Structure 1
Amino acid sequence: MKKQLLLLTPLLIFASCTTQERFEEKLTKTLIDRPEILTKVIESNPDQFVIAFQNAVRRGQQKIVEQRKLDQEILLKKAFDNPFKPVIRKDELIRGTKGAPITVVEYSDFECPYCSKGFKTVKSLLKKYDGKVQFVFKHLPLSFHENAVIAAKYYEAVRLQDEKLAIEFHDYIFNNQSDLKSGEKFLKELSKKLGVNMKRLSSDLDSEAIKLRIAEDLSEASRFGMEGTPGFLVNGIPIRGAYPLEHFDMIISKLVERGSLKL
């Protein structure tokens, strides 16, 4: 303890006959000019400083969590007051019940592991709200996923032939996502396995129609602030990330409470 006081003596000198502001200014300058003072104090009581640092980190993390929660609540309220309006095309592949009161739109990336989790949540959502949900899958292939764009093209090419096959294609990839590492070889093999017309698929893959469709999805996702995947809209209310079913339940319950959704 005596050693500590001796080390801190140069600092304590500034504590007399001066304002708090001036004291802090001098203290800061001293520590900048002579950082070894602080180093010696820390070295003399390492355990206490580690504990103090850990406590400070925990408090900081808690404040960040609380602020994020507050920010999310503010954004959520704004979203309920002014929900997004995604385009539902005439030829949109609808899973669930077409025209159902709950519309779930997903912006997804076939190579994203979080989208695989999101897929499981969507399945649970369709089961729990059977007959009351229509689900629309849209594309948001991320640039750092090497096979995301080509997988999106294959999906759309398969969809042009047969929607049921497109659903099987979609589900197989998310149930066996690691196979996508093989790239187009895997996508071709999967398409053949499903019985897709490979000649037509080959001609459709790089068609302007498919390129435009994916570009439209990307543009819409960007417009709604979907920077990562998966991103969802539940009757226009955004959910950014692979949240569990309970979070979707909460959004749906609030929509019902507000009178904008009747189940």
Structure 2
Amino acid sequence: MKKLILALGGFAVSGCVSSENQIREAIKKNPDIVFEAIEENPVRFIESVNRAAQKAQQAQYEQHASEMKKGQERDLKNPKQPKLSEERRLIGDDKAPIVLVEYVDFQCPACKMASESLKEFKQKHKNDIQVYYKNMPLDFHPMAFPAALYFEAIRRQDKVKALKFYEHVFAHQRQLKDEAFLKKAAAQVGAHPGKLAADVKSAAVKKTVAEDMAEFQAFGFNGTPTMILNGIALSGVQPVEKLEEIVELTRKK
């Protein structure tokens, strides 16, 4: 550190702006003085980097929390209204007061975590919830789109089997590497192989997935998992306590 101070000491006399410019120029001309200072104080350097990283993470978290809160306040006044139908509902009936719509990518690790955290919430409200699963396969997950097609094709056969497929794929997500896995998963939940093979390639199934993706984008969402709970959008993996909070907020409205 002494080398850095000596190298830059001659520039500490002028005003702040000119001094900073002079220091930048000195470092540009001889960047080794910075590396030498780091080598002389490696522990201090690592500590400084870690503190900076922690501050950046905290700032990002606070910004995300602030944006989410503002979004929830907007949604409370003007609830989001995704397209829902009897055909797409996998759990519950249309009289249930809690309406949960999930947008998922079958290869998304966070979606797997969300599916696990939502189990408790769904079980607790099994008599007063209706659940819809919609597809948002991200383009950097090569098997997400094929998995979405299989899910929709199975749903057309049987909702219970589709739900089992959903749970099976997330439970074995690391094995989702090729279509052979999807075929095996479909067979394990009891899907009819002939009808499945035809529906996976059908224009109707592809249209359903495309419409889900278009709806997701129309709402301005940009990542999975995302859900809409009683008209209020939530992104990321949410604790049960947060979901209960949203339910209470919407009940009081």
TM-score range, shorter-chain basis? Answer: 0.7 to 0.9
Structure 2 residue aligned with 1:250, among 229, 245, 249? 245
Tell me: CA distance 1:42–1:246, structure 2 relative to 1, closer, same or farther (3 Å).
same
Distance change in 2, residues 1:40/1:109 (3 Å): closer
Query: Map of 1:216-231 to 2, 5 A cutoff?
Result: 216-231=211-226
**What corresponds to 1:236 in structure 2?**
231
Q: Distance in 1 between matches of 2:90 and 2:40?
A: 67
Q: Is 2:78 the partner of 1:82? A: yes
Find out whether 1:119 has 2:115 as its counterpart: yes
Counterpart in 1 of 2:209?
Answer: 214
Question: Residue 202 of structure 1: CA displacement?
Answer: 2.3
Count matched residues.
Answer: 253
Q: Secondary structure at the match of 2:176?
A: helix
Who is 1:174 aligned against? 170
C-alpha separation between the residues in 2 aligned to 1:150 and 1:2?
60
Q: Is the 8 A contact 2:4 2:34 kept in 1?
A: no
CA distance in structure 2 between the aligned counterparts of 1:47 and 1:156, rounded to whole angstroms: 54
CA distance, structure 2, for counterparts of residue 179 and residue 74 of structure 1? 38
In structure 2, list runs of 5 or more residues that go unmatched.
none
Give the counterpart letter for 2:10 in structure 1.
P
Q: Which residue of 2 aligns with 1:10?
A: 10
Q: Distance in 2 between matches of 1:5 and 1:148?
A: 54
In structure 2, how many angstroms separate the alpha carbons of the residues matched to 1:5 and 1:147?
55
Given candidates 92, 97, 103, the residue that maps to 1:101 is 97
CA contact (8 A) 2:226 2:235 kept: yes
Helix, strand or coil for the counterpart of 2:233?
A: strand
> Cα distance 1:97–1:120, how it changes in 2: closer, same or farther (>3 A)?
farther
- Cα gap change, 1:246 to 1:28, in 2 (>3 Å): same
1:141-180, aligned counterparts within 5 Å?
A: 141-180=137-176
Q: Distance in 2 between matches of 1:137 and 1:174?
A: 13
Deviations 1:92-131 (A, max 9, x none): 2330343211110001122222222222223211111232
Query: What RMSD over aligned residues (CA atoms) do the two structures have, in Å?
Result: 2.8
How far is 1:35 from its partner?
4.2
Give the partner amino acid of 1:10: G
User: Which of 130, 136, 139 matches 2:135?
Assistant: 139
Question: Match for 1:70: what amino acid?
Answer: S
CA contact (8 A) 2:68 2:234 kept: no
Distance 1:83 1:23, change over 3 A: same
The alignment's TM-score, normalised by the length of structure 1, stands at: 0.81
Task: Report sequence identity in percent.
Answer: 32
How far the C-alpha of 1:246 sits from its partner, in A, is 2.2
1:196 matched residue in structure 2:
191
Q: Could you say what secondary structure the match of 1:145 adopts?
A: coil
Partner of 1:184: 179
**Aligned counterparts of 2:243 and 2:53: Cα–Cα separation in 1:** 32
- Corresponding residue for residue 62 of structure 2: 66
CA distance in 2, matches of 1:167, 1:150: 17
Asked whether the equivalents of residues 8 and 37 of structure 1 are also in contact (C-alpha less than 8 Å), the reply is no
Q: Is the 8 A contact 1:97 1:131 kept in 2?
A: no
